[in-house]
Amino acid sequence: MDAITLDLSQYALSKGIVLLDKTSAARALPAPLTTRPTKFPRAAYDAAIALQRPFNELYKDIACSTAFLDDIMNDLKTLDHFTGTLYNLYLRTARDPVQPLSLGVFRSDYMLDSNDNYIKQVEFNTISVSFAGLSTLVPSLHAYLGKKYQMHSYRSVPDNAAVQTIADGLYAAHQQLALKDSVILFITQENETNVFDQRAIESYLIEQYNVRSIRLHFSKVLECTRVDPQSSVLYVADQPVSVVYFRAGYDPKEYTSDAHWRARELLERSYAIKCPSIITQLAGTKKVQQVLATPGVLEKFVDQNTAHQLRRSFVDLYPLDTSSHGLKAREIALNDPMHYVLKPQREGGGNNIYSNDIPAFLKSIPESEWSSYILMKLIDTETHEATIVRDTKVFKGDTISELGIYGCILWNQQTSETFYNTGAGWLLRTKAADSNEGGVAAGFGSIDAPELI
């Protein structure tokens, strides 16, 4: 192990830039990290920051537009079992709503298009956005290594308010509900390795606002919570819950029995503010992203000027149905797929099908299922040389980067009134140029920082 790798690993361990070791709940490993920040155009970064609040508002309006989502979900629910079950659960709970307030903690992910040096949206995430906690610590790591090895001063790395953005949003919802002696409930995955990222938000809430949090595995919800039959207040450990913050519940693998669906329904029917509600989670499906890219659709939600700004960040997106656009996409997917990616309605890394793998994949599934996927043109982004350290193993070579911007919005689902809307804080993920996926926790990318130029 060379000196820089050793220093990076031990600095990360000392400062908490770590993931939980899968073999032990008492051991941590350094997160995958770059050794120095990556140059990124300041104008493109500023554009991403400026778009976050309008995107927050757009997805809030989508969540409030039941007719718009009904049209999409009625087609999708028979093609994708998980999405269909979520949608049917939403329909059941929406008949008798208990809590009109809804909180969105979002992240919009972009890559830099080398053709116009502008950001293009990869996806908009509406549930369990991660790495706010770890990404805020990476600039100090880069500064330490830069000074020690006289590489750079990195003065143009922007401040990162990602943890504050999420914690402030949770606190805004907590305050709006004003439920005495209440706690925020973190719903987590059983084998979560990204624990310390979540702990940073918990710590901020207690240190800045004296708001306590309780963590609970999704599989333990029915066992460890109850809902008061009169008030619908949710209790965990005999303490009322103001906000249910989902860091789980987005992967079909988490719903292994009917008990998991009953747990999700119990939470949805409670008085606690959900982050996100089921309908907000559904607003973040890839199909919604594809429909928004259809000419004229954005204008149903925003004015022409805002539509122009948002649309500039879009890439070509197609359905794979039997419409004229869908038939065109099928022809591309089967005969000329090199510059495209096939996306299902899934969050988390490792689900997409890329380029020349697309035809064989489509032929391996029934044609009736093709409509549950969307076809997206790959973003033509420039490569840059970087050094990535993962598990003390060093990769040095051509890489590409993806910039995410965090945002929070609190609204009334029944009236569509917005109470709080903010966008700040960033995540830069860097991966080998020949690696398709970018998820850090899923084992594909690394956490980086932008050096604005």
* Residue 313 one-letter amino acid: S
| Annotation says 393 is catalytic | no
Q: Which residues are annotated as a binding site?
A: 107, 123, 125, 127-130, 192-194, 198, 247-250, 286, 343-352, 354, 376-379, 402, 429, 431, 437, 440-441
Q: Which residues are annotated as a binding site for ATP?
A: 123, 286, 343-352, 354, 376-379, 402, 431, 437
**What mean pLDDT is predicted for residues 173-186?**
97
Catalytic choice (429, 445, 446, 451)? 429
Contacts of 220 (CB under 8 A, 6+ apart): none
Residue 155: pLDDT band (50, 70, 90) is confident
Per the prediction, the chain carries an average pLDDT of 95
CATH architecture assignment, domain 3-303+383-452: 3-Layer(aba) Sandwich (3.40)
Q: Which residues are annotated as a binding site for substrate?
A: 107, 127-130, 192-194, 198, 247-250, 429, 440-441
| Annotation says 125 is catalytic | yes
φ, ψ of residue 81 in degrees (nearest 5): -60, -45
- Determine which helix (DSSP H) or strand (DSSP E) holds 438, and give its type and residue range: none
Residue 75: pLDDT band (50, 70, 90) is confident
Catalytic choice (347, 371, 425, 446)? 347
Q: Which residues are annotated as a binding site for Mg(2+)?
A: 123, 125, 347
| Annotation says 396 is catalytic | no
Beta strands in 88-182 (DSSP E): 101-113, 118-125
d(CA 417, CA 108): 22
Whether residue 133 is predicted with pLDDT greater than 80 in this model: the reply is yes
Catalytic choice (56, 102, 125, 371)? 125
**What mean pLDDT is predicted for residues 313-331?**
94
d(CA 389, CA 446): 8
Q: Which CATH class is domain 316-378?
A: alpha beta
| Annotation says 305 is catalytic | no
Contacts of 366 (CB under 8 A, 6+ apart): none
Whether residue 53 is predicted with pLDDT greater than 60 in this model: the reply is yes
Residue 437: pLDDT band (50, 70, 90) is low
**Residue 227 has which token pair?**
């809902």
| Annotation says 77 is catalytic | no
In sequence order, what are the beta bridge partners of 241? 183
Residue 23: pLDDT band (50, 70, 90) is confident
| Annotation says 123 is catalytic | yes
Q: Residue 357: exposed, middle, or buried by beta-carbon count in 10 A (0-12, 13-18, 19+)?
A: middle
Give DSSP secondary structure letters for 108-131: EEEEEETTTTEEEEEEEE-S----
What does the domain layout of the chain look like in residue ranges? Answer: 3-303+383-452, 316-378
d(CA 84, CA 77): 4
Whether residue 145 is predicted with pLDDT greater than 60 in this model: the reply is yes
d(CA 40, CA 228): 51
| Annotation says 348 is catalytic | yes
pTM score: 0.95
Whether residue 154 is predicted with pLDDT greater than 80 in this model: the reply is no
| Annotation says 429 is catalytic | yes
Residue 19: pLDDT band (50, 70, 90) is very high
Whether residue 32 is predicted with pLDDT greater than 80 in this model: the reply is yes
